[in-house]
Amino acid sequence: MSGHSKWSTIKRKKGAKDAARGRIFTRLIREISIAAREGGGDPAGNPRLRTAVEAAKSANMPNDNIDRAIKKGTGELAGETIEEVLYEGYGPMGVAVMAETVTDNRNRTASEIRHIFTKHGGNLGTVGSVVWMFDPKGVISVDRARIDEDTLLEAALEAGAGDVEGDGEEQFRVLTAPGDLHTVFGALEAKGIPVGEASLERIPKTTKALDEQEAERFLKFYEILEEQPDVQRVFANFEIPDEILEQLSR
């Protein structure tokens, strides 16, 4: 599992900063609106919207908020004009980084993202500069305490998944092709598998190992980038030993 995934798991266990600050709702609302605009307002026929709605419900977002976000996306309600922009580059220590953003002002967002990269010794790259270093995957989390790995692996492969990997002590991660995410999710659910979140992620093909000093510097940059208001998600190909990650998360 990549450093990105491990770090995300540790942050979930300690309580998400975004949730404490209320920013997670803003991100989810924008994702729902974008998904509805691109694929229509019916979650049953729009896998991306279905994923966004499931994430919103997992975050205890009220149904009224979800409905309004969908209607803004489909044009039934007036709302801000937003677009998706993917930024690519290299962070401290040459770690490959991608930031998925949703913005109503592309120039402002580009300027702020570039400033964060430059300030921390990185470089914002051009389109295509690092995206080739990542594989897009569907990821389904499964409660590790409620199923053994062999049973899950057999069910996942029968459902069309590509692999199952561990995610710390609490979760398994079922990996799928992006287009198979919801088919596999539905098949596992039908089998009574305790499925959790489903999401589309970018998984690094190779990783860059960081020692404790490098990890501390890089994670400071990583968290500041995540906290930029227009950033939805950040992916990076860093690898940090578990004991260092745990120590830095305290």
Cα 9 to Cα 143, 157, 246, distances in angstroms: 13, 24, 11
**113 found inside a domain:** yes
Q: Are residues 44 and 140 in the same domain?
A: no
Q: How confident is the model at residue 244 (pLDDT cuts 50, 70, 90)?
A: confident
The total number of structural domains in the chain stands at 3
pLDDT digits (tens, 9 = 90+) for 145-158: 888 889 999 999 99
Q: How many CB atoms lie within 10 A of CB 42?
A: 12
Question: Which CATH number characterizes residue 152's domain?
Answer: 3.30.70.980
pLDDT digits (tens, 9 = 90+) for 185-217: 889 989 999 888 888 899 999 999 999 999 999
The residue-averaged pLDDT of 157-184 equals 87
Q: Are residues 142 and 171 in the same domain?
A: yes
Q: Which of 2-6, 84-88, 227-231 has the lowest mean pLDDT?
A: 2-6
**3 found inside a domain:** no
Question: Does the structure show a pLDDT above 70 at 4?
Answer: no
* CB 9 within 8 Å of CB 173: no
Q: Are residues 139 and 34 in the same domain?
A: no
Q: Are residues 239 and 200 in the same domain?
A: no
Question: Does the structure show a pLDDT above 70 at 167?
Answer: no
**Residue range(s) defining the domain that contains residue 162:** 134-204
Q: Are residues 161 and 180 in the same domain?
A: yes
| pTM metric for this prediction | 0.81
Residue where one domain finishes, among candidates 56, 74, 92: 74
Q: How confident is the model at residue 241 (pLDDT cuts 50, 70, 90)?
A: confident
Q: Are residues 140 and 229 in the same domain?
A: no
Q: Are residues 197 and 226 in the same domain?
A: no
Q: Are residues 196 and 211 in the same domain?
A: no
Q: Are residues 63 and 97 in the same domain?
A: no
| Residues forming beta bridges with residue 83, ordered by sequence position | 103
Identify which of 210, 199, 206, 191 has the alpha carbon closest to the alpha carbon of residue 171.
199
Residues of the chain above pLDDT 90, percent: 50
Q: Are residues 21 and 59 in the same domain?
A: yes
Q: Are residues 64 and 109 in the same domain?
A: no
Residue where one domain finishes, among candidates 74, 93, 120: 74
Q: Are residues 211 and 128 in the same domain?
A: yes
Helix, strand, coil % (nearest 5) of the chain?
Answer: 50, 25, 25
**225 found inside a domain:** yes
